[in-house]
């Protein structure tokens, strides 16, 4: 592909080619079992998951949304969300890191040229990872950008500073979101190690501690013309870019909720004491505790079912592409994001309510589930999803077109 094809490549074995949705789910479960054992240690000591991300890339899971016409299997969005939830239950930082990777692949599918699709989908199949440099600090809103793409001969130059650059520490390609000379939003694919590109590991959030969501500095970085995707076009017509990005976020929250719920069951069964007025011999026999566990289980089931249903609607919208089908997908994903946000916060908080004071010991690090839930659910506030859904049903106002819906 033009200039891009001459870029140097890492020497590594090609990634595994996944052949079915069942295989994708099976591989996700196998990796999750491996990742879960050291997740506590990674969070406590902030050990970045470089080896784990290498294993994830080599497994082939990062290519499961590549369309069949580019040699992929294009799994359903329900499966994509469930794969995300499985990985996030084991380690929610690892579950979040590929979110932008899949968002970028969806934006590429929607608005990339045939040459760009052939090349970058091919790189995804080979095991390359795409990290995002999207959000900035100091702008009026999260949807405003100061990073600029300016013309330079046959290509462009990038200048700016990004924060919340999730996954860039682990990526072969840094995808920069910048305004072109006409103030139109673009995605520029820059290879790791490009001159003028600086990645700073300065993410210091109290949750999702190992996502590598630090700062990216761009100082006159050159990018070839054929490595720039006109991202703004994806929001000038009905598309599923936002829905795909959001359903993955919902999967992350669902995984956090499952992890917190599992910790609650274990602690109540094996460590917690019954309340003195309960008359129970074990905390697990306390009728109020049992009922609370039942509430959580039911809400987890509801969130899971809503997420699966939303995935099916996104599938329809990707194939059909009408405004009506895209709106249906948007509203369904918004509902799933609300429910998964609520259950992630509720489950991680109820863990301590039912497990008791002993569960707050620092050495147990059970608070990581609440910290992860609280941090990740700040992404795209659900209060605005309530507003969008209500405004559509009450006033017929169509949802705005952006990556947060």
Tens digit of pLDDT for each residue in 300-334? 999 999 999 999 999 999 999 999 999 999 999 99
Mean of pLDDT values over 264-285 = 94
pTM for the full predicted model = 0.96
Using the Cα atoms of residue 156, residue 162, residue 166 and residue 171 in order, give the sign of their dihedral: positive
Pairing mode of beta strands 228-229, 185-191: antiparallel
Predicted pLDDT at 287: 95
Q: How far apart are CA 113 and CA 110, in angstroms?
A: 9
Residue 251 has pLDDT above 80, yes or no: yes
Helix (H, G, I), strand (E, B) or coil at 209: coil
Question: pLDDT over 70 for what percent of the chain?
Answer: 97
Predicted pLDDT at 254: 98
Q: How far apart are CA 323 and CA 404, in angstroms?
A: 17
pLDDT tens by residue, 226-243: 999 999 999 999 999 999
pLDDT tens by residue, 337-386: 999 999 999 999 999 999 999 999 999 999 999 999 999 999 888 999 99
Note whether 351 and 267 are within 8 A (CB). Answer: yes
Could you tell me which residues are beta bridge partners of residue 160? Answer: 218
Question: pLDDT over 90 for what percent of the chain?
Answer: 92
């Amino acid at each position: 592909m033009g200039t891009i094809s001459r870029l140097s490549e890492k020497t590594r074995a090609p990634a595994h080619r996944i052949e079915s949705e069942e295989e994708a789910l099976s591989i996700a479960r196998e990796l999750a079992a491996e990742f879960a054992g050291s997740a506590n240690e990674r969070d406590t000591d902030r050990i970045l998951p470089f080896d784990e991300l290498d294993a994830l890339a080599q497994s082939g899971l990062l290519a499961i949304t590549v369309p069949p016409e580019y040699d992929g299997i294009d799994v359903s969005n329900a499966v994509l969300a469930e794969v995300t939830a499985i990985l996030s239950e084991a380690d929610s930082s690892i579950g979040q890191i590929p979110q932008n990777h899949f968002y970028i692949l969806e934006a590429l599918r929607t608005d990339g040229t045939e040459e760009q699709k052939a090349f970058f989908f091919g790189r995804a199949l080979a095991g390359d990872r795409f990290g995002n440099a999207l959000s900035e600090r100091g702008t009026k809103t999260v949807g405003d950008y100061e990073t600029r793409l300016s013309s330079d001969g046959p290509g462009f130059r990038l200048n700016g500073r990004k924060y919340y650059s999730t996954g860039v520490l682990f990526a072969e390609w840094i995808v920069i979101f910048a305004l072109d000379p006409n103030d139109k939003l673009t995605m520029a694919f820059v290879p790791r190690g490009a001159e003028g590109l600086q990645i700073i590991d300065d993410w210091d959030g109290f949750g999702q501690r190992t996502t590598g969501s630090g700062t990216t500095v761009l100082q006159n970085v050159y990018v070839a013309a054929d490595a720039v995707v006109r991202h703004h076009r994806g929001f000038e017509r009905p598309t599923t870019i936002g829905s795909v990005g959001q359903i993955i976020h919902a999967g992350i929250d669902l995984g956090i909720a499952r992890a917190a719920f599992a910790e609650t069951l274990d602690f109540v069964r094996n460590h917690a004491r019954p309340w003195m007025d309960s008359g129970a011999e074990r905390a697990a026999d306390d009728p109020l505790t049992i009922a609370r566990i039942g509430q959580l289980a039911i809400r987890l089931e509801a969130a899971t079912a809503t997420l699966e249903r939303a995935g099916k609607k996104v599938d329809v919208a990707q194939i059909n592409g009408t405004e009506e089908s895209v709106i249906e997908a948007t509203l369904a994903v918004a509902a799933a994001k609300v429910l998964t946000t609520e259950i992630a916060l509720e489950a991680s908080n109820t863990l301590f309510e039912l497990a008791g004071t002993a569960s707050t010991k620092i050495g147990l690090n059970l608070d990581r589930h609440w910290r992860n839930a609280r941090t990740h659910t700040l992404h795209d506030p659900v209060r605005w999803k309530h507003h969008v859904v209500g405004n559509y049903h009450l006033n017929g106002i169509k949802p705005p077109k952006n990556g947060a819906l």
